[in-house]
Chain A
Amino acid sequence: MSSIRCNDLCKTFEQGGETIVGLDHVSLSIEEGEFVCLSGPSGSGKTTLLNAMGGLDTPDSGRIQVGDAVLTDLSRGQLADMRLQNVGFVFQAYNLVPVLSARENVEFVMQVQGVDARQRSQRVQEVLAEVGLEGLESRLPAELSGGQQQRVAVARAIASKPKLVLADEPTANLDTRSAAQLMGLFVSLNQRGITFVIATHDSRVMGYARRLVKLQDGRMISDEAQEPTAMVV
């Protein structure tokens, strides 16, 4: 079963009286368990495509299906439920809730899902250990480094065991070492069956992908399978 299926997506924006093409007839299928990079220069449409796959943005035309759900047919509330149950997001700017500790940020999605406290606590311990943040659970985001914050964001994204993780420029604010550690974590999680779609223009990140989709001016200009070239640390 196809994990994500995008058919003929089009999206335009109005900016300063000018019409900008975000997506121009993009069609793409991503199978479960794939590790895909969407690449291209700024304004190429990779973030727009990623947001559309996550149900954060609605295309002007076309159809997106994630699992059994046709996103273009869902209401705002249903889209929120779909994201809650199926999608983990990792953003460039970490986007942690500043008034919640690392543990509480990771717990947040599960709390909204209604997972009971004991299960939550166990799962939080597991994922924080997995991302290497043991001992930092009670720190607020402001008390963590950029790399640590991004790890908390990853822990939050995977805590509820989503089928799909969408990451938008996840290494943009990280140093080389932190970026390599993060990508290693992504690869390891992908090997356990989580589908990863990463929007990036960082060639180091592309080296981890087994499939590279290139976009330019909203159009998909190539879609190629590749052997990962980057070394997992």
Chain B
Amino acid sequence: MSQVDSGRAGSGRRAPARVAKRGTGQNQTGAGWLFVSPMLIILGIFLAIPIVMALWVSFTDWNGRGNPFGSRVNFVGAENYTSLLTEQGLSRQDFMLSMRNTFYYVLGVVPVQTALALLLAVIVNQKFLKGRTFFRTAFYFPSVVSSVAISLVFVYLFTGTGAINTILSKVGVIGPNWLDDPRGVIHIIGEKVGLWSIDAPPSALASTEVMNLSLWEWFKGPSVALSTIMIQVIWTTAGTFMLMFLAALQDLPAEVEEAAMVDGANRRQRFMNVTVPHLRPTIFLVLTLGIIGTWQVFDQMYVMTQGGPAKTTLTPAYLSYAAAFRQQQWGEGAAIAFILFALIFLLTSIQRYLLRDKDEVAKKKATKAQAKAAKAKGALA
């Protein structure tokens, strides 16, 4: 770096401006590549190349011993993928369990955290409120704390005799053993309303198998243990998304709201017809980030449950880790990672597509509305 530096400094000082300029243009190629080289090296060695290596491993039967690229490792074709997706067996069963769990997890966490974040943002954004900074800080703080530390706190809060169950017992509810309870939430609700008994599930559901899991298992809902983790994640991440909503709310021009007020729109109308359309891009962003984030959930499972009880908190990310690092089935672990990668890619692509569409529609609507408003104004004048 110093070479480039001194060389240019020397030539620049003596040469007239025009030459210096040309010199700069030449040197920028060298300097440019020099400047990006640490990034290229680190991301190349620890990101790009490893992905290719893992792709190779996902087509082998490497067991963790020796060199995964040596001659003693067998190429097994797509076997690791087919055993997860199309063949009867324990691998597929575990993978399907993890997909089911995460599906319910995403379905529960994403809408609730988005709604809670929006609610918190709207509350904190109230102009009359005193100490807004304090509340904003309080709601955001969990987002910056280590997920490991938060997990420990929640394990304690939700333990059988912990704070949550103590509070519940004060209002006459006997709380479950949250993180040790594998019962599915839909199963429990069904039993409560008399649809079925968990101990004797309806045979039509229990005996029909789809992808190695009975329908009864598929429709289990998140287990109580997984729901506990969902509560924790919603509580933790809502603060981050609250900040995004807050930024968007503060971008809303005051004149627009005032105009709506002058037009006689009440508070609810103003919120639904002015604020929400303005927030639409942010809502989509939050949903996208939420979906990307939730499909990757790993830390909580690693710290709190290790996939249990009864595999009801198993997720693809944790399963991939456990298959490789615990069971030494590296090919299978890598295959799970790539399937997860493809899935997240697919979901975000769909969402991008929808977002783009909605944006265009919204824009068209906005221009139409503007034209109408202009017309109305003209008529008034």
Partners in one complex: no
Q: Which residues of A contact B (CB under 8 A)?
A: none
